[in-house]
Chain A
Amino acid sequence: MVRRYIRVKIVCDHKLTNEQFHEILDNASRRYFGQLGVSRIDPRIVRFDAESLEAIVSCESSAAHEFESALSLITSYAEAPISLLVLRVSGTVKGAARGRK
């Protein structure tokens, strides 16, 4: 299975844990594409940096634009505003991490 790796910046004013971030991704994918969509997208967290609020997430290559759409529609978590900014999309983890400060 070919996967796409997406580097995202988390824009929020509070700290997040890996579990919370996972919940955010899962909820967003489920909300907009349903259970079947989640199985097709198969979102996973590859790297998560709680300090810089940056992460590399991966999904099935064929559902990459659906996953990116779901990421775009995230606006809040636990009643606090949050948004995700896709910085780079690549076929490898190394490619996705490129240009990272």
Chain B
Amino acid sequence: MGKYVDLHVIPRPDDAQSCERMAELLRTANYTTVGLTVATGLLKDRITFVRRIFEERGVSTALRADFKPTSRTELLRLLRRFRNLYDVVAVQCLNQQVATVSCRDRRVDLVFFDIANRNLRFSHTFARLLRGAVEFNLVSDLTAQDDPWVFSRFRKAIMVAREHHVNVVLSSGARNYEMVRSPFQISALAMSLGLGHEESIKGVSSIPSAIVTQNRKKRSPQYVEEGVKIVVPSVP
């Protein structure tokens, strides 16, 4: 069985029952790791409580923060303050300026675009700048909108991503247990929208998994910088 990861799961920390149902379904759907998106102001106890619900059901968790900055300055301030506290940092691009900086900044793991926003989409310019990965929240975006053009916009964004060989992360963006889908379904959705078979499988397995592993390594106390880590000599 592969190691499947859904990096965008948004549980309601105040609703334990919904979190439990969500965790059970994620486990049934064969996910090994999920990216729990929590508000940056959420109390530590509450985060631990939600994480425990998922981990007790056999789903490993990675803490994720979603930033929605409106300007470059705000984005840089958020990254300075919160980067070290989260396993995964994602930026929802609301305007051109924020999208350019977040695609270029290596502290940003994922960028995603509001599919309903007709003025800003994942274009060739952003694909060329992108250092992290682009995320497509297939389930939440495709089921929330009644607009048939959403499919067309996804197709275009996927074509751009394929052309520039950028890393694509496929997530559900599930806000409740009814939006949980299995990795097979998410990869099938991406294939229907034009992504290749191999890329779509990587999008729910190796690419998100690598992001989590790399960031956990960076957050460990032994890590100094790329290629440098503290090695404690063993006592003879």
User: Chain A residues in contact with chain B, CB under 8 A?
Assistant: 9, 11, 64-66, 68-69, 71-73, 75, 81-83, 85-87, 89
Q: Which residues of B contact A11 (CB under 8 A)?
A: 25, 177-178, 180
- Complex alpha-carbon distance, A64 and B188, angstroms: 8
| CB atoms of B181 and A85 under 8 A apart | yes
| CB atoms of B179 and A68 under 8 A apart | no
Chain A minimum-CB-distance residue to B182:
A86
Q: A11-B178, A81-B178, A85-B181 are in contact. Are A72 and B186 (CB under 8 A)?
A: yes
| CB atoms of A65 and B182 under 8 A apart | no
Q: Among B139, B185, B189, which residue has the most Cβ atoms of chain A within 10 A? A: B185
Q: Which residues of A contact B177 (CB under 8 A)?
A: 11
Chain B minimum-CB-distance residue to A65:
B188
| CB atoms of A69 and B185 under 8 A apart | yes
Q: Which residues of A contact B139 (CB under 8 A)?
A: 72
Q: Does B191 contact A (CB under 8 A)?
A: yes
Q: A9-B28, A65-B192, A81-B178 are in contact. Are A75 and B185 (CB under 8 A)?
A: no
- Complex alpha-carbon distance, A85 and B143, angstroms: 15
| Least distance between B104 CB and chain A CB atoms (Å) | 33
| CB atoms of A75 and B143 under 8 A apart | yes
| Least distance between A12 CB and chain B CB atoms (Å) | 9
Q: Does B29 contact A (CB under 8 A)?
A: yes
Size range of the chain B interface in the assembly? 20 to 34
What 0/1 readout, one digit per residue, does chain B (186-197) give for beta carbons within 8 Å of chain A?
111101100000
Chain B residues numbered 1-36 whose CB sits less than 8 Å from any CB in chain A: 25, 28-30
- Complex alpha-carbon distance, A83 and B185, angstroms: 12
Q: Does B82 contact A (CB under 8 A)?
A: no
Chain A contact residues: over half helix, strand or loop, or mixed? Answer: mixed
User: Chain B residues in contact with chain A, CB under 8 A?
Assistant: 25, 28-30, 138-139, 142-143, 177-182, 184-189, 191-192
| Least distance between A38 CB and chain B CB atoms (Å) | 15
Shortest Cβ-Cβ A-B pairs, 10 listed: A68-B188, A65-B188, A72-B185, A69-B192, A65-B191, A69-B189, A86-B182, A86-B184, A83-B178, A81-B178
Q: Which residues of A contact B180 (CB under 8 A)?
A: 11, 83, 85
| CB atoms of B29 and A73 under 8 A apart | no
- Complex alpha-carbon distance, A72 and B190, angstroms: 11
Given A69-B188, A72-B181, A75-B143, 15 other A-B residues pairs in contact with their CB atoms under 8 A? A9-B28, A11-B180, A66-B188, A68-B184, A68-B188, A72-B139, A73-B143, A73-B189, A82-B178, A83-B179, A85-B28, A85-B29, A85-B180, A86-B184, A86-B188
Q: Among A75, A83, A87, A89, which residue has the most Cβ atoms of chain B within 10 A? A: A83
| CB atoms of B178 and A75 under 8 A apart | yes
A-B contact pairs, 12 of them (CB 8 A): A64-B188, A68-B185, A69-B189, A72-B139, A72-B181, A72-B186, A83-B178, A83-B181, A85-B181, A86-B184, A86-B185, A87-B29
Chain A minimum-CB-distance residue to B138:
A72
- Complex alpha-carbon distance, A11 and B182, angstroms: 12
| Least distance between A7 CB and chain B CB atoms (Å) | 10
Q: A11-B177, A73-B143, A75-B143 are in contact. Are A85 and B25 (CB under 8 A)?
A: yes
